[in-house]
Structure 1
Amino acid sequence: MLAVFISLFSFLSLQEAPTPASSVEAADTVWKSNVQRRLTDSTGHFLKVNRIVLVGNAITRDRILLRELSLKSGDVVYSNDLKDILDLDKKKLINTRLFNTVEIKSLPFSKEEVDLVVSVNERWYTFPSPIFELADRNFNEWWENYEHDFRRVNYGLRLYQFNMRGRNETLRLVAQLGFYRKFEINYKIPYFDKKQKQGLIFDFEYSETKNAPVLTDEHKLDFLEDDHVIRVHRGGSVAYTYRNSFYDHHVLKAEFRSNSIADTVTEVNPNYFGEGERLQRYTVLSYQFTSDHRDYFGYPLNGYYFNTIVSKSGIFRRDDLDKFEITASYAKFFNLGKNYYLSNNIIGFWSTPDRQPYNAFGAMGYRKQFIRGYEVYVVEGPTYFLNKTTFKKRIFSKTYDWKSIAIRQFRHIPLSIYIKMYGDFGYVQNYPIYEETNKNTLLSNRFLTGAGVGLDVVGSYDAVIRFEYSFNVMGVGGFFIHLKREF
């Protein structure tokens, strides 16, 4: 079965992204470029957009909705293209994550003119979210590697204020205590210009901990615990964003980071900052490009997604870290019909030089970048690649409209359930320091595979719970729980 998966996914990965059935997705104003071709098509006729009426946006400014619409008042569109255009615009509005539901209707105004009515149901935008979560990378790492110790828990409060001022701005405040103390302020302004293409993101963070991973032993993190703070991080960044089309985003970010550790850390691992250093300060300049053509951000079933990040740590001579890295990922989602779906994700990472302090090691095993079946392991290296594929079937889907709920933003409750099977494979090149000391060599420099079956539960407000049973190339299997989508 795994061989079939690998053969199929390698074939799919090499194929070019298919051209959409309708040409309207190619660019923001593509319908205008098709006028000449339509002159020879007698099956439809041209329509002029008379008015665009917005309904239900009590908080969201009109211009935020209008930014996502391909058509503007006064535009001319071919009648046969109208439905495809409106379907795509509906998906774009849903993916702003501002609305529970979106409906776009065309109403004839005259024989040659049409009105568009955009009706939205706004989400709840203020979320004071209590923090009570594991400090480890995932549930299984906490359960198996650290004996489900409840001292390894973070608690506190996150405050999310989405759609501030009705302009899709986001404020995030974090006050976290417990195993890992963190305080953070993040403010995102998606647009500050009249054309709504340029934005800014500000971020400031302070964190400290009495427990920190200071070594990796047999691909598992080894923590040092003390009565006093052993690691402190301070950082700030400003990012400039540019959205030149509906689907493409550019981010240019400048950061400053300051890290300090206690002498107990250097005693255990002199290479934590390198050469026994206890202070590390450096600047980072990075560029990120994203092209997002997924049908639904929360749980995509169709479309594709591409993302790449180029980052340079150590811009100035006085910086204490020198590292250049590139990460690229491509995900493709196929709707096979009859509630069957296939998805494939490819991730590649490369960095140089390959001799780095321990805290700057690249690793497969964090966030969504891991092979299923290896959740309890961290595989470090300057270069790695990963391929993840899932075949699934939707077995239940229903939307509940509970009018008895007092807050209208929570009355719309979608629920879907998928059963699935999956196969992952990857490779990590080991760091020279591990090769020279014969440490952490079991899973590096070799082809790794994992496979399994599972159940996904998808709810409202992008909530996803994944129940998976996976086994790896070593023949070890286990049950895993994840609270985010696969990729």
Structure 2
Amino acid sequence: MLVILFVLLSFFAEAEPVQNSDAELLPDSVKRPASARVAPMDSIGRFVRINRIFIIGNRITRDPIILRELTLKSGDFIYSTDLQHILETDKKKLINTRLFNTVEIRTLELETDLVDLLIDLNERWYTFPSPIFELSDRNFNEWWQNYNHDFSRVNYGLRLYQYNMRGRNETLRFIAQFGFSRRFGITYRFPYIDKKQRHGLAVDFDFIETKNLAYRTADHKLEFLESKDILRTTRVGGLTYTYRPSFYESHLVSLFYRSTNVRDTIELLNPNYIGKEKDTQQYASLTYQFNSDHRDYVGYPLRGYYLQAFLTKNGLTSSDDLNKFEVSGTFASFIDLNKGFYLSNYTVGYWSSPDDLPYMNYGALGYQKQIIRGYEVYVIEGPEYILNKTTFKKKIFSRAYNWRAMPIPQFRHIPLAIYLKTYADVGYVSNYPHYEINSRLTNKLLSGVGMGIDIVGSYDMVLRFEYTYNAEGNRGFFFNLKKEF
């Protein structure tokens, strides 16, 4: 099947990119380029000096937030043959802040060795008071197949995202959710709290109540209990410190405190849900995370790579109710094969200790990006797992529209791209000791292959339509609203 699809893909004509470029990414640095006192010329190029930098179109975003992403500063010298390459990379970095729909950087030549830079921006819409009407399940296919597309399993309410607060790229998130589970939460993120724009903070508070709770897993499918009473209450508070020393690398250190209470009904159904003979679990956790992100466009990358690693210690004192150590590493690469063909690969490994834990604290494949395609309806729990995803795709359509009749300028720019793809995923999950009720998919190689279509639109919207065969002999159509990785 993969060979046939590869032949079909080769018949499509090459499409022009919307927002991506063939230029390589620059080495990661925030240091100013080496200056020169003179501007010598030769047959290849010359040194030019950056005079002034003009920014237009930023009605809300402050200039320092924009200048933070630029390799070049006023007064820098750069070789003329390198200038366009650097400006193209800076354009990508500004797009990846997710503050702008479009970015153009032009040079204004004053003299043979002196240029101004003009940065022309189209800002995004930053306020999203959107109603919540969404499935409570992990994905569309789990809701459709496992729970008979029951609309009582829907959450509703209001979610408010205020991006770019005060023009400083700060983010306020507020959630008031009702329905299958009730949740109230607030997050405020300060990306920079210092003049050099390297240190940041984020504050989180969450309160969650649910009358419908997955109290155990049977044959790798979640089993729920529905009640008129509150079955579980969770309170979470935390503080995150961020350090971004360069354009592409960042470090995060988070300290959180979590408290969870469950009704005795859950204890009767699953004595190990929160710990033997317990109805409360309270603990502090400390997390370190490292990110190295060199993707061309984070909304739907086609070139570059990213690396992520994190370590978490749950339970910092002897009085904490949980003692768990977690380590995870992720690497993804995106390769432009030319003529509209692209190859991407994603690998993640996870390890935790000890392996004698309450059910609520199990590690598992089956959530967010950690899913083997073809196994969307399953939760595969274990203290260790590894997952690899490979996708080969062909761009069959790409165009950006300008909707002039739209009264809100932030929504006039409408990029649209369509990709035909084929893919193969493999994974392995080791089982928890004495967990025979969920052993059919553990301690064995799992795989899924298939084909599909990705539709990429405005504001990082990605629609995925996929048809997958898995190693268990099952096949089916799967729909997702986010990029695969």
In the alignment, is the contact (CA less than 8 A) between 1:24 and 1:31 conserved in 2? no
Q: Give, as a single letter, the amino acid of the residue that structure 2 aligns with 1:211.
A: N
Kindly report the root-mean-square deviation, in angstroms, between the aligned alpha carbons of the 2 structures: 1.9
- The 1:335–1:23 alpha-carbon spacing in structure 2 relative to 1, beyond 3 Å, is closer
Runs of 4+ displaced beyond 3 Å = 1-5, 20-24, 38-42
Q: Give, as a single letter, the amino acid of the residue that structure 1 aligns with 2:301.
A: P
Q: Identify which of 14, 27, 30 aligns with 1:28.
A: 30
In the alignment, is the contact (CA less than 8 A) between 2:175 and 2:184 conserved in 1? yes
Other-structure match for 1:474: 472
Q: For the residues of structure 1 that align with 2:33 and 2:476, how far apart are their CA atoms?
A: 51
* Cα deviation 1:119-150 (Å, max 9, x = unaligned): 10001110011100000001110111111111
Q: Give SS of 2:460's match.
A: coil
- The 1:226–1:60 alpha-carbon spacing in structure 2 relative to 1, beyond 3 Å, is same
Other-structure match for 1:165: 166
In the alignment, is the contact (CA less than 8 A) between 2:464 and 2:483 conserved in 1? yes
Q: For the residues of structure 2 that align with 1:119 and 1:310, how far apart are their CA atoms?
A: 40
In the alignment, is the contact (CA less than 8 A) between 1:381 and 1:429 conserved in 2? yes
In the alignment, is the contact (CA less than 8 A) between 2:219 and 2:437 conserved in 1? yes
* Cα deviation 1:90-110 (Å, max 9, x = unaligned): 000000000000000111121
Q: For the residues of structure 2 that align with 1:66 and 1:162, how far apart are their CA atoms?
A: 19
Question: Any residues of structure 2 matched to 1:287-366 within 5 Å, and which?
Answer: 287-366=288-367
Structure 2 residue runs of 5 or longer lacking an equivalent are 6-21
Question: How far did residue 473 of structure 1 move?
Answer: 0.3
Q: Give SS of 1:32's match.
A: coil
Question: How far did residue 27 of structure 1 move?
Answer: 1.9
- The 1:40–1:216 alpha-carbon spacing in structure 2 relative to 1, beyond 3 Å, is farther
Q: For the residues of structure 2 that align with 1:4 and 1:389, how far apart are their CA atoms?
A: 17
Other-structure match for 2:119: 118
Other-structure match for 1:138: 139
- The 1:3–1:237 alpha-carbon spacing in structure 2 relative to 1, beyond 3 Å, is farther
Question: Any residues of structure 2 matched to 1:66-465 within 5 Å, and which?
Answer: 66-434=67-435, 438-465=436-463
In the alignment, is the contact (CA less than 8 A) between 2:199 and 2:242 conserved in 1? yes
Q: Give, as a single letter, the amino acid of the residue that structure 2 aligns with 1:452.
A: G
Q: Give SS of 1:333's match.
A: strand
- Percent identity between matched residues is 57
Q: For the residues of structure 2 that align with 1:146 and 1:27, how far apart are their CA atoms?
A: 50
- The 1:183–1:78 alpha-carbon spacing in structure 2 relative to 1, beyond 3 Å, is same
Q: For the residues of structure 1 that align with 2:389 and 2:84, how far apart are their CA atoms?
A: 34
Q: TM-score, normalised by structure 1?
A: 0.93
Q: For the residues of structure 1 that align with 2:464 and 2:132, how far apart are their CA atoms?
A: 20
Q: How many residues align?
A: 468
Q: For the residues of structure 1 that align with 2:368 and 2:40, how far apart are their CA atoms?
A: 51
Q: For the residues of structure 2 that align with 1:289 and 1:230, how far apart are their CA atoms?
A: 36
- The 1:100–1:472 alpha-carbon spacing in structure 2 relative to 1, beyond 3 Å, is same
- The 1:433–1:338 alpha-carbon spacing in structure 2 relative to 1, beyond 3 Å, is same
Q: Give SS of 1:151's match.
A: helix
Q: Which has the higher contact order (CA 8 A, sep 6+)?
A: 2
- The 1:189–1:4 alpha-carbon spacing in structure 2 relative to 1, beyond 3 Å, is farther
Question: How far did residue 339 of structure 1 move?
Answer: 0.8
Q: Give SS of 2:111's match.
A: coil
In the alignment, is the contact (CA less than 8 A) between 1:61 and 1:166 conserved in 2? yes
Q: Give SS of 2:151's match.
A: coil
Question: How far did residue 30 of structure 1 move?
Answer: 6.8
Question: How far did residue 25 of structure 1 move?
Answer: 2.6
Q: For the residues of structure 2 that align with 1:408 and 1:40, how far apart are their CA atoms?
A: 44
Q: Give, as a single letter, the amino acid of the residue that structure 2 aligns with 1:468.
A: E
Question: How far did residue 227 of structure 1 move?
Answer: 1.3
Q: Give, as a single letter, the amino acid of the residue that structure 2 aligns with 1:459.
A: G
Question: How far did residue 327 of structure 1 move?
Answer: 1.1
Structure 1 residue runs of 5 or longer lacking an equivalent are 6-19
